Amino acid sequence: MKSVKKWLNDNSAKPQHSSSASGKGDDNKPSQRPSPQKQKPFSKGPGHQNRRPKRPYPSKKTSRVIPYKPSHKPAPRPSPKPQGTVPQAGGFPIRVYPLGGFEQIGRNCFVVEVEGDIYLIDLGLQFPDEGMLGIDYLIPDISSLSGRENKIKGIFFTHGHLDHIGAAQHLLPKLHYPPCYGTKLTMAFIKKRLDEEKITSKANLNTVPYGQKIRIGKIEVEFLKVTHSIPDSAAVAIHTKYGTIMHTGDFKFDLTPTSEEPADFQKLADQSKNGVLAIIADSTNANKPGFSKSEAEISETLFKMIRDAEGRLIISTFSSLLNRIHQVVAHAQKFNRKIFISGRSMETNVEIAQNLGYLKAPRGLIRKAGPAMDKLPDNQVIIITTGSQGEEMAGLARIGLGTHRHIGVKKGDTVVLSSNPIIGNERAISKVINNLNLQGAKVKTNAEFALHTTGHGMQQDILLMHQLVRAKHVIPEHGEPHMRAAHAELARKIGYPDNRIHMMTNGEILEFDAKGNSRRSKQKLTLQDVVIDGYGSAGEGQRIMDDRKIMSSNGVIVIALKAYAESKRLVGDPDILSRGLIYGSEQTEITGEAIKIAKKAYEESLNRGESDRKELKRAVNGALFRFFDRKLNRKPMIIPIVIEV
């Protein structure tokens, strides 16, 4: 296969994407990296300029969208507001920008604007790290779309993992329920999340078959088969009259998948025939050489473990890793073992997969964990549970602690962790493994055996995708900065100049003119961390997390001051309540000093003429902060309360 660099030299002209056009785009600037003398943008081959150009959208065949719930009507969408947060750029009909997923793993959300119409790709969540105390997860900040909800023509979902669909139930209402499109399993998972919030009847959910172009507003969209760690994964091709915007989603090239067809190489290659303006491509494993390992290799390891296990097998994996669960089910049949499912998300996903035919098993083979397990011989039992990342409330952690309602470790049990530790979870996983060993289980992990493979392509997978699609511009996405930097370096190695590789961050806007030239917008969207905490959400997520860090390491002081409503003079001494800061014999002494200092600071501020409650509280706060810093070398959170009587 030719490199892109060589292919560029062999094909010297393509009128539609000529970079010699005038404009302010990056393509008119010299590259920072030396490139071949005759290097030109991607073309359709010699002699293309002499042919009559094809119509961008063939009308021979009408594709059909299958409504997910044809019986209900979507909720009416409000009329437009007069202004939007992101202004339109004249002469640059295509604008793309990420609202998440470009500086972290998760929170994936990418926006494509075509002549003012808006299309979103994915609405994902991000799981918290160790420093995000009490946070359930984070979701994309969509405030930049406020006032332009009527311009949103569709949301395209690439696959059913939570980092791509997990924010749907929170954001669809805020976006006024635009039409949603995805493959069958993906839309079933989204529907389940909406069902839990009782908002499914308001949504407009549509399932789309692979490989058919669907007209939506000013574009046609096409879902292309790729392989990942969950069935029905897709790359999304947005076809415009200016070229195709291609989003790979999460992908790898598995030539021997165990429960689905391989990627559609032909359809991916066909995209290059009509010109791919830009590819937004997965960068997760861009710093790892070679091709990703096939699921077939993991299947062999699981087969041997199930065959050789003398007692029960407890297998822990991600609840959405349906390809892995399919392998366990297939092997369990061969060795006459029953499968018992533990964990709410695991039960839900297995049920959906069975109902849609993605997980096939004889009646009675798969059951919920319960007392019936104890009635079978141990060598006929396999338990599949959640908790492979050491989550405190997940099934595996509770089994290790001996607090699981139905499952306890027996002598001879083998526990298999069919996953890799996510960065930041190593300590929690190690704790669970230690607890399981103390209970008497034999624990097997991917560090010793081939028990897990990534669902993301490594360097050769990524290079193959670029060789197939041959996009004019490359936008590395889905990963931390060092992962995307490695992806950019791969693109350089196959001939892409620096001004065709766009290292974007969340909120940055890239614009394309009608001839395919690009420029970086001077405007950058200001995005905040939006956190989901219990049933609520908050836009000032960073402030919430900072407050919790202060309380966790320095404690909290609440001081109540009673004052007359008119004169603002204090009534008696303030009351102080402390938590996580002072205990024992020192409490009485330090509390007494703090009361004196707070009272003095309040009265001095009042004597200076201050009567505003906020200013009086600020004076008390500052005085106590300095006192505890000097006295205890601690900086607690201080909450003054003024009660007027």
212/64 Cα distance (integer angstroms): 8
pLDDT at position 551 is 78
282 is catalytic: yes
33/26 Cα distance (integer angstroms): 14
Reduce the DSSP state of residue 414 to 3 states and report it: strand
Residues 323 and 283 in one domain: no
State in Å, rounded, how far the first CA of the chain is from the last one.
83
Residues 283 and 345 in one domain: no
142, 174 Cβ separation under 8 angstroms: yes
Residues 378 and 323 in one domain: yes
456 is catalytic: yes
178/409 Cα distance (integer angstroms): 48
Domain boundaries, position 606: 555-644
Write out pLDDT tens, residues 24-70: 344 444 344 334 343 344 444 444 444 444 444 333 333 444 444 43
Average pLDDT of the chain, as a whole number: 84
- Residue 615: what residue type? E
In the predicted model, is pLDDT for residue 440 greater than 70?
yes
Confidence band of 589 (pLDDT split at 50, 70, 90): confident
Query: Helix, strand, coil: what percent of the chain each, to 5?
Result: 35, 20, 45
Sign of CA dihedral 103, 109, 112, 118: negative
Sign of CA dihedral 529, 534, 535, 536: negative
Total number of domains constituting the chain:
3
Looking up tokens 């009128």 gives 15
Write out pLDDT tens, residues 522-578: 999 999 888 887 655 555 556 777 777 777 778 888 999 998 888 888 888 899 888
pLDDT at position 32 is 43
Residues 151 and 275 in one domain: yes
Residues 384 and 335 in one domain: yes
Q: How far is CA 487 from CA 329, 413, 426, in A?
A: 36, 43, 26
Residues 6+ away with beta carbon under 8 Å from 169: 193, 194, 196, 197, 199
544, part of any domain? no
394, 385 Cβ separation under 8 angstroms: yes
When comparing pLDDT for 553 and 602, which is higher? 602
Task: Locate 116 and state its tokens.
Answer: 């003012």
136/130 Cα distance (integer angstroms): 11
pTM confidence score? 0.76
Q: Choosing from 161, 228, 456, 478, which is the catalytic residue?
A: 456
Q: How far is CA 8 from CA 394, 492, 497, 501, in A?
A: 52, 13, 11, 15
pLDDT at position 193 is 94
Last residue of a domain, one of 444, 472, 487: 444
Q: How far is CA 323 from CA 285, 359, 417, 507, in A?
A: 20, 9, 15, 34
Q: Which phi-psi region, left, alpha or beta, contains residue 453 (left: φ > 0; alpha: ψ -120 to 50)?
A: beta
In the predicted model, is pLDDT for residue 247 greater than 60?
yes
Residues 154 and 229 in one domain: yes
**pLDDT > 70 in the chain, percent:** 83
Q: Kindly state the average pLDDT of the residues 190-207.
A: 95
356, part of any domain? yes
291/271 Cα distance (integer angstroms): 23
H/E segment holding residue 532: strand 530-533
304/309 Cα distance (integer angstroms): 8
Residues 404 and 420 in one domain: yes
509, part of any domain? no
Residues 6+ away with beta carbon under 8 Å from 331: 299, 302, 303, 306, 307
508, part of any domain? no
543, part of any domain? no
Confidence band of 582 (pLDDT split at 50, 70, 90): confident
The domain that contains 9 carries what CATH number?
3.60.15.10
Q: What is the CA radius of gyration of the chain?
A: 29
Q: Choosing from 26, 254, 282, 529, which is the catalytic residue?
A: 282
The domain that contains 582 carries what CATH number?
3.10.20.580
39/207 Cα distance (integer angstroms): 42
- Residue 196: what residue type? E
pLDDT at position 533 is 75
549, part of any domain? no
569/182 Cα distance (integer angstroms): 65
Write out pLDDT tens, residues 137-184: 889 999 999 999 999 999 999 999 999 999 999 999 999 999 999 999
511, part of any domain? no
Tell me the CB-side half-sphere exposure of residue 300, using CA atoms within 13 A.
Answer: 9
Residues 334 and 265 in one domain: no
513, part of any domain? no
Q: Kindly state the average pLDDT of the residues 275-302.
A: 95
Task: Locate 588 and state its tokens.
Answer: 């009485």
Task: Locate 241 and state its tokens.
Answer: 């009259």
Q: Kindly state the average pLDDT of the residues 613-636.
A: 89
Residues 9 and 143 in one domain: yes
Q: Lowest-pLDDT range, 212-216, 251-255, 423-427?
A: 423-427
284/458 Cα distance (integer angstroms): 8
Strand arrangement, sheet containing 117-121: 66-67, 205-207, 180-182, 152-156, 117-121, 109-114, 94-100, 508-512, 518-524
Q: Kindly state the average pLDDT of the residues 308-324.
A: 92
pLDDT at position 536 is 53
- Bridge partners (DSSP) listed for residue 477: 282
The domain that contains 373 carries what CATH number?
3.40.50.10710
- Residue 245: what residue type? I
pLDDT at position 539 is 52
Residues 6+ away with beta carbon under 8 Å from 268: 224, 226, 235, 465, 468, 469
Residues 6+ away with beta carbon under 8 Å from 531: 132, 135, 136, 137, 138, 139, 537, 538, 541, 544, 545
pLDDT at position 535 is 55
Residues 221 and 331 in one domain: no
330/322 Cα distance (integer angstroms): 12
Residues 391 and 309 in one domain: yes
Residues 569 and 605 in one domain: yes
